[in-house]
Structure 1
Amino acid sequence: MLLATSDSVAGREIIETLGLVKGNSVQSRNIGRDMMAGLRNIVGGEMKEYAEMLVRSREIATEAMEEEAKQLGADAIVGIRYATSSVMDGTSEVLVYGTAVRLK
């Protein structure tokens, strides 16, 4: 599956637009991550525990979007965008969406 943030694929023609596809993942913090992040909040530095959590959350959301596109018979997903939000205290949602297409 070809994934692109652009609305087209260089050297390929979009012959059919299949529709919107999306995926999301909601992750919550845990006590171990919170303790390490709390220390970094005091002394400064990158909060690797949260960064890793968000990377994994993006991967899960992207895989779900790809699966939805495969079910439509897509070759590619174009116009991909990511959004992150806080669902409630201590949780984060990653949403990814794009347009499933067939290529020539």
Structure 2
Amino acid sequence: MNVYQIMKDNNNDSNVFAVNITTSSNDVMQLLEQGFEGIQTINATSEQEAMELFFNSNASSVMMSTSSFLTEDTKVIANYGIITSTIVSGTNIFRDMLAGVRDIVGGNSQTYMNKLEDLKVQAMNELKKKAVRIDCNAIISVSIDTEEISGQGKGMLMITATGTAVKVKER
């Protein structure tokens, strides 16, 4: 396990990277002198893992709304454009058989409903991670689209979450 310092370029907020300070703390000092800022220290086995942990931990603070605003107390100060997340998952034969029975006898397929809900949560989480990667703290005008992809006797579910990545501040 190594210790990584997550660094941010003060001239470009979306330029975030990890520096292994277990092996070279001089790198961090040089970056600080060049105008970079250390924003978090993370224990990880690799630079990639450190960055993933950083994005995952910060994604939970990203606000989301299906409308073009969040609250009356927030103001959009920067718009970073549209971001999209797509999750595709195969259905299995048992789920298909249970759904087929539901088609015949009627009623909701709780199995498919649970699967769709799980995929929706995954797509929303990926959308939040993308927002963090470009230094946004909110996503507005969020929409979710559900599709079924089928062919050659196989079925898959696809969920696409789309929104506008923005930076907001309290008024």
Q: Do the structures match in fold with TM over 0.5?
A: yes
User: Aligned with 1:73: secondary structure?
Assistant: coil
Give the letter for the 1:102 counterpart. K
Q: Where do 5+ consecutive residues of structure 2 fail to align?
A: 1-61
8 Å contact 1:27–1:53 — kept in the other structure? no
Give the letter for the 1:76 counterpart. A
Structure number with bigger Rg: 2
2:26 equivalent in structure 1: none
Q: Select 1:35's aligned residue among 97, 107, 114.
A: 97
Count, aligned residues: 104
Partner Cα separation in structure 2 for residue 8 and residue 40 of structure 1: 40
Using CA pairs below 8 Å that are at least 6 residues apart, which structure has the higher relative contact order? 1
1:91 matched to 2:153: no
TM-score by length of 1: 0.93
Q: CA RMSD in A?
A: 1.1
Partner Cα separation in structure 2 for residue 102 and residue 76 of structure 1: 6
TM-score by length of 2: 0.58
User: Aligned with 2:160: secondary structure?
Assistant: strand
**Alpha-carbon distance, 1:87 to partner:** 2.5
Partner Cα separation in structure 2 for residue 34 and residue 54 of structure 1: 14
8 Å contact 2:64–2:70 — kept in the other structure? no
Sequence identity percentage: 29
2:49 equivalent in structure 1: none
